[in-house]
Amino acid sequence: MSTAASNSSCIQHRMESTTSPFELLARTAQQLPTRTALEFLPGDLEGAPLEVTYRQLLQEVQRIASALKATGIREDESVAILLPFVPQAVSVLIAASAVAVAFPVNLLLSAEAMRAQLSIARCRVVVTLGPHPALDVHARVVRAVESMPVAPTIIEVPLAGPAHNWEAFLGASTSAFEQPVDPGRVGALVHTGGTTGHPKLARLSLRNMAVAAVMASAGLGIEPSDRLLTGLPLFHVGGAIDGLMAALSVGATVVFPTPLGMRNPAVVQRLWEIVSRYGITVLGVVPTSLAAIRDTPVGTSELAGLRAIMTGGSPLSEDLSQHIQALTGKPVYQLYGMTESSGIATAQSTTGRRAAHAAGLPVPGVEISLGQAGAEYRPGAKGEVLIRGPNVFQGYLTDQGVVGDPRGGWLSSGDLGEVASNGELRIIGRSKDVIIRSGHNIDPQLIEDVAHRHAGVVQAAAVAMPDDYAGEVPVLFVVARSTAEFCLSELAGFMAQQIAEPPARPKGIFVLDELPLTPFGKVARYRLRQLAVERKVAELLADLVEAPAVTCRDPAARRVEIGTREPLTDSLIEDIVRRLRRLDLEMERPGTTI
């Protein structure tokens, strides 16, 4: 048997035999009990990191699982987890999935948004931190639960000081815990959708999570010797599965850069020093974080041990990818997936060799078709990306019940793709209108619903505007009831107050006499995306070209024409092209005179 066939058989066996995150951890702990599983860097980046071995992590998970069982929680009830990068964030996540439903929650949510999600998730226990000088999570959690009909129990984890009931909670632990036996039951809920309104919680089974971890580790080529530095939050599948669980599945070490992760300015400023100091071999960050560190100098930091930078979750411009590779001398690899596919579908293997600007090959166990379910995956194929495999979720939990369950069939991604000549998938657009800001899915209709509640708005439509930091951001186009009485700043304040999650608040609001329509009377969103691109590019070039006339006629809103009063010089064209690349845009032609 060839080595490739042997590896394929081994991966298939791992996927079939690993039924839950707990079992995944238990197997690794049995094989590598003294290997370091987790390292938590101190907030000041000066002291020694806290190290947790696989044996210690398993013991802590068992203890917490037993303590959760002692609360009387049922398998169909959830444990909400609102923690930064602390040891308990990992152990509670795995323990909660073993005895009930793990529900990692975005720390930035307002109290109102938390309450809506906790209610739908049938939350019985909330694990969070006590009052903290830099994180105001605790106060929002208390406000969220106090008005719920049946308030969940709040368990506080000590971080900046003592927590009043953590030790008492652990004291209820017994040795009666048994690992989960039904791999098909829901083990986690992950929020997707983005704003206030009606939350959608993706239902991931125990098997979904376990098999996706094996798929991700195989597709990305994560090795037991790897030390993975990840700033990916654990309330996203990218952080919880593609990063954490994938590494745990092979016995690698996961390093968390302080409790605040990549939101810590000191981590951004000293990232390459951290990589060098802690012997990091793989760096996992979203494109937003890559944009934040694009100007962080490597200096004297030794990066010889770093073999790969991996990213995913939102569009990565080729310009940013090339910039980071030039800065570090290390290849940037991409993966593609979504919450509904447990975070993984395709990936580029972190071999240490330079890779194409694409999303990689289908990972083991995943079927991908383009345009039509069951269509052959081959070079030249184009269309909507369809995904099938044991990693595909079990529908959304909403206030109307469970909806959208593919029941083992094909998952429609809403993304448009094409297969390159080397077999790698390239994402070239979206058939759906979801806005993806830094890996955060934002439903435009929910933004529009808020705008329509404002007395001065007659019509509203939200679309994505390209952004060199976040990939894209939401902007809002409105038709005012009376332009004479309309106040743009007042509407902006209204939107900020009504939309629970900061990433979903429009970064710009533009007033039109009327919204563009299709021949069928529907809002022509493609035209609004073109208008958003025109405004962004005009702003981008304002210091370079006097009153540029920017026109976007491209249906995909990726190419623009630049008109100027005077002919453009070659050097000016090069500068314009360079700036456009940061937004993943192209110039339609060298420029026209107006």
Domain ranges in the chain? Answer: 3-42+49-429, 435-511, 525-593
Among the ranges 203-207, 481-485, 525-529, which has the highest mean pLDDT value? 203-207
Enter the pTM of the model: 0.83
Q: Which amino acid is at 585?
A: L
Cα 349 from Cα 356, distance rounded (Å): 11
Looking at residue 521, what is its pLDDT?
Answer: 65
Q: What percentage of the chain carries pLDDT values higher than 90?
A: 68
Cα 17 from Cα 538, distance rounded (Å): 55
CA dihedral sign, ordered 224, 308, 420, 242: positive
pLDDT at 217 over 60: yes
Spell out the residues 6+ positions from residue 221 whose beta carbon is closer than 8 angstroms to its own. 349, 350, 351
**Cβ-based neighbour number of residue 550 at 10 Å:** 19
Tens of pLDDT, residues 313-323: 877 888 889 99
Looking at residue 463, what is its pLDDT?
Answer: 94
Q: How confident is the model at residue 9 (pLDDT cuts 50, 70, 90)?
A: confident
Looking at residue 442, what is its pLDDT?
Answer: 86
Cα 109 from Cα 132, distance rounded (Å): 16
Rounded to an integer, the average pLDDT of 262-279 is 95
Cα 216 from Cα 12, distance rounded (Å): 13
Rounded to an integer, the average pLDDT of 9-36 is 92
Q: Which is more confident, 13 or 242?
A: 242
Q: Which is more confident, 594 or 337?
A: 337
> Is residue 348 within 8 Å of residue 359, measured between CB atoms?
yes
Looking at residue 478, what is its pLDDT?
Answer: 95
Tens of pLDDT, residues 294-317: 889 999 999 999 999 999 987 788
Q: Which is more confident, 589 or 110?
A: 110
> Is residue 410 within 8 Å of residue 375, measured between CB atoms?
no
Q: How confident is the model at residue 589 (pLDDT cuts 50, 70, 90)?
A: low
Q: What percentage of the chain carries pLDDT values higher than 70?
A: 95
> Is residue 305 within 8 Å of residue 272, measured between CB atoms?
no
3-42+49-429: CATH topology is Rossmann fold (3.40.50)
Q: Which is more confident, 358 or 196?
A: 358
Q: Domain 435-511: what homologous superfamily?
A: ANL, C-terminal domain (3.30.300.30)
Cα 233 from Cα 262, distance rounded (Å): 9
pLDDT at 66 over 70: yes
Looking at residue 178, what is its pLDDT?
Answer: 77
Looking at residue 579, what is its pLDDT?
Answer: 92
pLDDT at 401 over 50: yes
**Cβ-based neighbour number of residue 502 at 10 Å:** 11
pLDDT at 197 over 70: no
Q: How confident is the model at residue 523 (pLDDT cuts 50, 70, 90)?
A: confident
Looking at residue 381, what is its pLDDT?
Answer: 97
Q: How confident is the model at residue 2 (pLDDT cuts 50, 70, 90)?
A: very low
Average pLDDT of the chain to the nearest whole number: 90
Q: How confident is the model at residue 484 (pLDDT cuts 50, 70, 90)?
A: confident
Instruction: Kindly report the backbone phi and psi dihedral angles of residue 281, in degrees, each rounded to the nearest multiple of 5, phi listed first.
Output: -105, -30
Cα 306 from Cα 487, distance rounded (Å): 52
Looking at residue 194, what is its pLDDT?
Answer: 42
Cite the DSSP H helix spans in 236-362.
237, 246-250, 265-269, 271-277, 287-292, 318-328
Rounded to an integer, the average pLDDT of 16-42 is 95
Cα 370 from Cα 410, distance rounded (Å): 11
Looking at residue 445, what is its pLDDT?
Answer: 80
pLDDT at 593 over 50: no
Rounded to an integer, the average pLDDT of 173-177 is 74
pLDDT at 594 over 60: no
pLDDT at 12 over 80: yes
Rounded to an integer, the average pLDDT of 444-458 is 88
Rounded to an integer, the average pLDDT of 96-113 is 94
